[in-house]
Amino acid sequence: MKQKSLFINCFPRLTPMLQQELESLGYTVARKEKMGVYVHGNYQDTYRMNYFLRTANKVLYEVERFRANDPRQFYDQAVAIEWEKLIPNKGYISISGFVRNDHIRDNRFAFMKLKDAIVDRLQNKTGTRPDSGPNSDRTVLYLRWFRDEVTISIDTSGETLAKHGYRKQPGKAPMMEPLAAAVLMASNWNRKGPLVNPMCGSGTLAIEAALMLRDIYPGRFRTNYGFMHTLLYDSINWQKVKREGDELIARNHGPYPRIIASDHDERVLQAARMNAREAGVEDMISFHHCDFRDTPLPSEGNGIIILNPEYGERLGQVNELTDVYKAIGDFFKQKGQGYTGYIFTGNLDLAKSVGLRTSRKIEFFNARIDSRLLEYELYSGTRK
């Protein structure tokens, strides 16, 4: 099958981890951007990417690239594409994307012109036409029109990959699954030592860690993708990808390091347990209802302690949280010897209250909040 340009989209600052994942699947990154990477591959490669990638949002398969200054030029180029070989003529299409062109004031106008071109082409070639609308559960197209450069792609993911499918109880201000996976990849957790997650909230960090240990990938929780709703879809090859995922799980017998998650809020902890059950990893996580300072730490050490405390949006909250961050530092110093400590925070001023020197500061965004994963080496006695 012909090689095409594939763009794999992710949250800002996750491209290093996304590149790491793609290379582990055998792909070579051709180019990196702020919110994704380009690789070369065929349509069937998108099946594997959608199934196995933990840090991705969308996998875009390029259909056509051309230049157009205005809507008339755009329509003429778009209607010339052989849509009858790509889209079911009695199907359903939705269009999203990014448009910045002097002749377009509203993105929806550009999306409508693309829809018109597709419908007119199919009506002319087949005598029938697809429906269209906002739903992203069938054929999804992505339009990127910047100045006079146009790229039209099939969004092979459809619904975003950022929802890994197990989190039925999101909790308060949850960390999205791709971010949690990326944070774990950026840490020095070797997947042999224990992972301890006080203040676990809805459990996303602990659950993503357990899924990594068990070789369970996000595609196991999905039954529908955009790539299934085009004429390029090959169900036999999709079944091969699913079997590949099943075989990885079947061959993985451990042993597994301990994962411990705690929270002081019993209702939040119940939600975390439910999410872990949905993910099929409840048996791998030891949940504890306690203050974070009372979280049990396995004596073997050589693991990580990772917390995602609140950041504080108002001055009163920030003042209250100062004591919390100081207590985290005390917890690290008093009980964390032999571990590496991590705090994920969107408030670096609060982080100063921890009272420990960081060994690394790794940049992330949590939604639109400029955030850091702060690393602390926790020695027993002096560093020497």
Q: Work out the burial of residue 315: count CB atoms within 10 Å of its CB; fewer than 13 is exposed, 13-18 middle, 19 or more buried.
A: exposed
Please, are residues 312 and 321 in contact by the beta-carbon 8 Å criterion? yes
The residues near 382 (Cβ < 8 Å, ≥ 6 apart) are none
Q: Provide the percentage of residues in the chain whose pLDDT is more than 90.
A: 91
- Asked if 347 and 310 touch (Cβ cutoff 8 Å), the reply is no
Closest by alpha carbon to 211, among 107, 297, 284, 110? 284
- Rounded to two decimals, the pTM is 0.94
pLDDT confidence of residue 384: 43
- pLDDT tens track for 302-332: 999 999 999 876 545 777 899 999 999 999 9
What sign does the CA torsion over 175, 191, 241, 52 have?
A: positive
pLDDT in tens, the chain (384 residues): 679 999 999 999 999 999 999 999 999 999 999 999 999 999 999 999 999 999 999 999 999 999 999 999 999 999 999 999 999 999 999 999 999 999 898 999 999 999 999 999 999 999 999 999 999 999 999 999 999 999 999 999 999 999 999 988 776 667 999 999 999 999 999 999 999 999 999 999 999 999 999 999 999 999 999 999 999 999 999 999 999 999 999 999 989 999 999 999 999 999 999 999 999 999 999 999 999 999 999 998 899 999 999 987 654 577 789 999 999 999 999 999 999 999 999 999 999 999 999 999 999 999 899 999 999 999 765 444
Cα–Cα distances (Å) from 133 to 93, 99, 121, 137, in that order, read 7, 18, 18, 11
CATH numbers and ranges of domains, the chain: 4-155 (3.30.2130.30), 177-214+223-377 (3.40.50.150)
| Contact status, residue 112 vs residue 71, Cβ threshold 8 Å | no
Give residue 346's pLDDT: 94
Cβ distance 43 to 67 under 8 Å?
A: no
Q: Tell me, what's the pLDDT at 169?
A: 76
Contacts of 72 (CB under 8 A, 6+ apart): none
pLDDT for the residue numbered 2: 78
CB contact at 8 A, 171 and 273: no
Cis amide leading into 255 (omega within 30): yes
Q: What is the rounded distance in angstroms from the CA atom of residue 3 to the CA atom of residue 226?
A: 19
For the segment 325-357, what is each residue's pLDDT rounded down to a tens digit?
A: 999 999 999 999 999 999 999 999 999 999 999
